[in-house]
Amino acid sequence: MTTLRVAMIGYGFMGAAHSQGWRTAPRVFDLPAEPDMAVIVGRNAQAVNEAARKWGWAEAATDWRDVIAREDIDVVDIVTPGDSHAEIAIAALETGKHVLCEKPLANTVAEAEAMAEAAERAAARGLRAMVGFTYRRVPAVTLMRNLIAEGAVGTVRQVRASYRQDWLVDPDMPLAWRLQKEHAGSGALGDIGAHAIDLAQFVTGLTLRTVSGVIETIVKERPLLESGAGLSGTAGAGFGKVTVDDIAIFTGRFESGALASFEASRFATGRKNALQIEVSGDKGALAFDLEDLNSVQFYDRTASPDRQGFRKILVTEPEHPYLSGWWPAGHMLGYEHGFSHQVKDLVEGIANGAHPQPTFADGLQVQQVLEAVERSSDNDSAWTRVAAGVPAPAV
């Protein structure tokens, strides 16, 4: 069996999740190539060595440039803050590596365009690039997409999507990198709103063309972190300015004419990780809630009146997406399983010469939606066209 030697750049929260995926996928699915967790990279030698030991990487390194130049590395997995995505991904593709990059693809449309163009050039040499919108790979979400494609809801008329968290409600939460535009690109809009946008387009098969919205920073300043502290570190002396949004609320219109509403908030008190989407059509409706991720709600308007009403589909059967490799029916999956499914799809795409979805072009399109929402907010919430010009992957 072919071996794919993987280097992961970054070792924070997403590093733990991606490591789970790389470790577990080849033990659950019959993959056409064997992932080898070769090296993990981070700037802090002590911390990255501990991460390698804890998560199962063969070695640790502190210079990503040296690692991607190595001939014994086949795949580069990028889980760093957004300000380094473009530089690392483009360099990796140019040195002949397949690339998996966390969402959002970049911090700006210009960076995302450069990444999509680099991926298109690399595809002509057989290289694959995928962006990590992992929630696509929750089995209930994939089933929702499949049902809509089969016509279960008929013509899509309306979409409601929201992603709400509450970890910033406390004004004493320190100023971490996710709250600084130079590192994160944007706040709730890009961090979690990107997921809602991608999910709405993924499950419906439709593309957003215009948006109207507003973004707001509720707490303008936060305590500075002590030098070297991470997201959970203790506050140091003084305060720093929050340069990203805390909440984004916007509407959108798909190319079909269907309307959508979106909310992304890190100030939704009591909501820990509430990603929700509901799609309404002329024949029915489907709804999903990440806090109940093993099911989807289905309303069949074509049923007889005495049998209408939302019903719960428990998505644990082996016939459901991704489930054949896991547990007996009724035994639940969790957040981490999506990362194993992500590895499965990436490895199969690389081995079979197919483009694993979503591509960098898909990531660029989401970035263009984010940028249009920001422009709309700056222009009194005026309806704003999403930029066009997404490069198609090379065949």
Superfamily of domain 3-135: NAD(P)-binding Rossmann-like Domain (3.40.50.720)
pLDDT in tens, 242-261: 999 999 999 999 999 999 99
Instruction: Count the neighbouring beta carbons within 10 Å of the beta carbon of residue 359.
Output: 24
pTM of the complete model: 0.94
Question: Looking at the domain that runs over 139-292+294-333, which CATH code has it been given?
Answer: 3.30.360.10
DSSP 243-305: -S-SEEEEEEEETTS-EEEEEEES--TT-SSEEEEEEEESSEEEEEEGGGTTEEEEEETTS-G
The rounded distance, in Å, linking the Cα atoms of 305 and 309 is: 9
What is the spatial distance between Cα 56 and Cα 66, in angstroms, rounded to a whole number?
21
Nearest to 325 by CA among 345, 310, 308, 351: 345
Backbone dihedral angles phi then psi of residue 263, each to the nearest 5 degrees: -140, 130
3-state secondary structure of 321: coil
User: How far apart, in Å, are the Cα atoms of 123 and each of 15, 126, 353, 354, 360?
Assistant: 26, 5, 10, 10, 11
pLDDT digits (tens, 9 = 90+) for 193-210: 999 999 999 999 999 999
Percent of the chain past pLDDT 90, that is, above it, reads 93
Predicted pLDDT of residue 57: 98
Rounded Cα distance between 331 and 139, Å, is: 13
Give the domain ranges of the chain.
Answer: 3-135, 139-292+294-333
Distance of CA 28 to CAs 58, 111, 141, 242, 244, Å? 21, 36, 20, 43, 40
Cβ 280 vs Cβ 240: under 8 Å: no
pLDDT band at 225 (very low <50, low <70, confident <90, very high): confident
Are the beta carbons of 73 and 7 closer than 8 angstroms?
A: yes
Q: Given this model, what pLDDT does residue 288 score?
A: 98
